[in-house]
Amino acid sequence: MKIPTSPNLVPPGGWSYKDPDSGVPFKEAHIEALVGLVRRHRIANDLVVGGEWLAHFYNELCLQNPKAPCSDASEQVHYVNADDLSSFLTTLVAQRESGKTQVDQEEYDRRVDICMRCPKMGHVGCSSCGAFGRLLNRVVAGVTIPKDVSPGRSCLACGCVISAKAAYPIEVLKAVDLELSRTPDYHESCWMRD
């Protein structure tokens, strides 16, 4: 089952939905408005709206809008917050001040592979974080993040975007955790435990 990644993200042209039972088409910019329209339509036409209807609606909505930002319903989403931004900016500064270079491609690939198999891997609930983060990494810290290596993937233990975190020297990342008094509960297989 699929669900929209965030109620605030709108696909190009808005959300389109054709009710599979009645064949009536709907179009709205916001999911909440669309849910209301479709629900009222279904009630007025004696169609099911209880039980698992909403989950099936979201799945069908994602299928009918292939360019929409959707993810698996079982996948956890991490919404970027002020603590994440603080951690990210502290990491950028620490990297620049350390004078260390980013990890080589082989180590980067090893880390990303571990993260992508980790049960604490989730989805980042931020539509513009990827491009903005890559730019800040390059300009401030001198770290070049390969594009789309793990698009929209986040570590649920620390909140970091996997494609960015995997590029930094472990000493810098551990120093940032210490500076911010953070003790993320990394999975036992995590490369941060090396």
Per-residue pLDDT tens over the stretch 122-170? 877 665 666 666 676 666 656 776 655 555 678 888 888 888 888 889 9
Burial grade of 155 (CB within 10 A; 0-12, 13-18, 19 or more): buried
Q: Is the dihedral of CA 151, 155, 161, 162 positive or negative?
A: negative
- CA atoms of 38 and 17, how far apart (whole Å): 9
Q: What is the pLDDT of residue 79?
A: 67
The CA-to-CA distance between both ends of the chain, in Å, stands at 36
- pTM for the full predicted model: 0.59
Kind and range of the H or E run holding 40? helix 31-44
Q: What is the pLDDT of residue 28?
A: 93
